Chains A and B, each alone.
Chain A
Amino acid sequence: MKLKVRDLHFDINNDHILNGINIDFTDQILTLIGPSGSGKSTLLRLLVALEKPLSGTIEINGELISSTQNLIDFRKKIGVIFQAFNLFPNLSAIENIILPLIHVHSVAKEVAVDRAQNLLKRFNLSAHQNKKPMSLSGGQKQRMAIMRAIITKPEVLFLDEPTSALDPEMTGEVLELIQELKNEKIGMVFVTHEMRIAKKISDQIIFLNHGKIIMQDEPKNIFESADPIIYQFMKKVSD
């Protein structure tokens, strides 16, 4: 994945949420960390064009994102995973998963169902495929949401704190799945507060604070940084 962000600004009611973000990244997994309110989730929403920047540009794999003309084409090539899963409650698990295949990628229904069932089998979720989201556990919901995001074979997967709404034991099953995806060579932009996994899977980590990038570097260098803000943060989360 290639990500290029230039001088990105974003306001909500004149509150500066992002203050001149610049990123250059060419590798598989980029992780965004930082205290809550630092702007990391907002940055992710801007990257997938759910928000419009005040100014600045975003390029993903050489394509400019801000123009709305190629928005649908761009979104065909990505997958997004939300903190609150955002499954569609009126559809069953498998209907959720095949929805983008059928309605965006124009895949025939039988083919889509076939692909979804293979995927579910691989991740041991077949038994739950006909359940409505309300009867799934939190971990199952998030894994279903990940199935829905990867079934279209996206170039880049965006994950917005995928485990922060889960109990610890369910966090484990979701993180395992994310590690498996690393082996699939899918590019990822990963917002998280799980430092252990951030350290383990990231190629690079960006530390954000008050809408500004404090540091972008390899995990090892971030975790051993002498910067007082990062040091304080690391100390707090390791307690």
Chain B
Amino acid sequence: MKQLLYFISILLFFTSVSLWSFNEIGYEWNWAGVLDYRKKFSDGFITTIWISVSALSLSIIIALMNSFLLGSRHLFLRTLGKFYVELVRGTPLLVQLLLIFYVFAQSFGISNRYLVGIFSLALFSGAYISEIFRAGLESIPKAQWDAARVMGLSEKKILSIIIIPQAFRVILPPLAGQFISLIKDSSLLSVIAISELTLNAQEVNSFTYSTLESYIPLAFLYLLLTLPLSQIIKFLEKKMKYET
């Protein structure tokens, strides 16, 4: 309750500073022009939501597969997993998107840009998430494995009953950060002409020449997606709280 009050007062302060700044630079607002394009915003918003949700789900699957590679007994598979992580983390998403869409997907005859876009985004995010998964698993003390093994539990049961539930709590905060990044990174899909929220806002800007009137709603719409997400994760974290 108290936190909410603080939050609102900080918001009010931030808003008044912004309004003062706009007034100071003599900015002429043109909200009417932007309002004509509200369908562009809602269309883009919906596209951003479903693209993010799909990429998010796919990235978890990719990350799971890659954490198996990273934890494999075979050096070759481990190297493969490491190679993927380093390649993806070390290069800009923009370059990956352009290369995957205009070179790799083209050569395989895949022309659906939404499919390729979601896959590229998931591939990008999956590298980070698999590292988060691995760190989470490694954070569980060896003694937990010992205690479970001497009971006669199978590796599969040790993972599903003991290790993963504990690791889940550890990975939640970095995972939340990664999910929020993914939603924001989806704006880069505009480079392969996917008409998501950011591209549509940019279009509105180029039609109306009202940059801030186009981009301020954009910022709010992203917050509308990311804020509930961090709240959900915070709730989960609280629910799973215990000490190790």
Contact indicator B153/A86 (Cβ below 8 Å) = no
B31 to chain A, nearest CB (A): 52
Contact indicator A72/B147 (Cβ below 8 Å) = no
In the complex, A182 Cα to B162 Cα: how many Å? Answer: 31
B146, B150, B165: most-surrounded residue (chain A CB, <10 A): B150
Identify which of A76, A82, A88 contacts B162 (C-beta below 8 A). Answer: A88
Identify which of B150, B166, B242 contacts A80 (C-beta below 8 A). Answer: B150
Contact indicator B147/A89 (Cβ below 8 Å) = no
Contact indicator A50/B161 (Cβ below 8 Å) = no
A63 to chain B, nearest CB (A): 14
In the complex, A88 Cα to B145 Cα: how many Å? Answer: 10
Residues of chain B in range 212-244 having any CB-CB distance to chain A below 8 Å: 240, 242-244
Contact indicator A50/B146 (Cβ below 8 Å) = yes
In the complex, A134 Cα to B154 Cα: how many Å? Answer: 26
Instruction: Report chain A residues within 8 Å CB of B143.
Output: 82, 84, 86
Residues of chain B in range 138-165 having any CB-CB distance to chain A below 8 Å: 143-144, 146-154, 157, 161-162, 165
Identify which of A48, A76, A78, A89 contacts B242 (C-beta below 8 A). Answer: A89
Contact indicator A82/B146 (Cβ below 8 Å) = yes
Instruction: Report chain B residues within 8 Å CB of A100.
Output: 151-153
Question: A132: CB under 8 A from chain B?
Answer: yes
Instruction: Report chain B residues within 8 Å CB of A72.
Output: 152, 154
Instruction: Report chain A residues within 8 Å CB of B151.
Output: 75, 99-100, 104
In the complex, A89 Cα to B148 Cα: how many Å? Answer: 12
Contact indicator A134/B147 (Cβ below 8 Å) = no
Interface of chain B, helix or strand or loop or mixed?
Answer: helix
Contact indicator B242/A132 (Cβ below 8 Å) = yes
Question: A196: CB under 8 A from chain B?
Answer: no
Instruction: Report chain B residues within 8 Å CB of A88.
Output: 144, 147-148, 161-162, 166
Question: A200: CB under 8 A from chain B?
Answer: no
Residues of chain A in range 121-138 having any CB-CB distance to chain B below 8 Å: 132-134
Contact indicator A89/B161 (Cβ below 8 Å) = no
Contact indicator A90/B242 (Cβ below 8 Å) = yes
Question: A236: CB under 8 A from chain B?
Answer: no
In the complex, A134 Cα to B244 Cα: how many Å? Answer: 7
In the complex, A73 Cα to B169 Cα: how many Å? Answer: 33
B56 to chain A, nearest CB (A): 25
A18 to chain B, nearest CB (A): 18
Instruction: Report chain B residues within 8 Å CB of A82.
Output: 143, 146-147
Contact indicator A86/B152 (Cβ below 8 Å) = no
Contact indicator A103/B161 (Cβ below 8 Å) = yes
A13 to chain B, nearest CB (A): 17
Contact indicator A89/B152 (Cβ below 8 Å) = no
Q: Which residue in chain B gives the minimum CB-CB distance to A86?
A: B147
Residues of chain B in range 148-197 having any CB-CB distance to chain A below 8 Å: 148-154, 157, 161-162, 165-166, 169
A86-B144, A88-B162, A103-B157 in contact; A134/B242 too (CB < 8 A)?
yes
Contact indicator A86/B166 (Cβ below 8 Å) = no
In the complex, A99 Cα to B151 Cα: how many Å? Answer: 9
Which 8 residue pairs spanning A and B have beta carbons closest together?
A: A86-B147, A75-B152, A134-B243, A80-B150, A104-B152, A100-B151, A90-B165, A86-B143
18 A–B pairs (Cβ distance < 8 Å), ordered by A: A48-B150, A50-B150, A75-B149, A76-B152, A80-B150, A86-B146, A88-B166, A89-B244, A90-B165, A90-B240, A90-B242, A91-B161, A99-B161, A103-B157, A104-B152, A132-B242, A134-B244, A158-B150
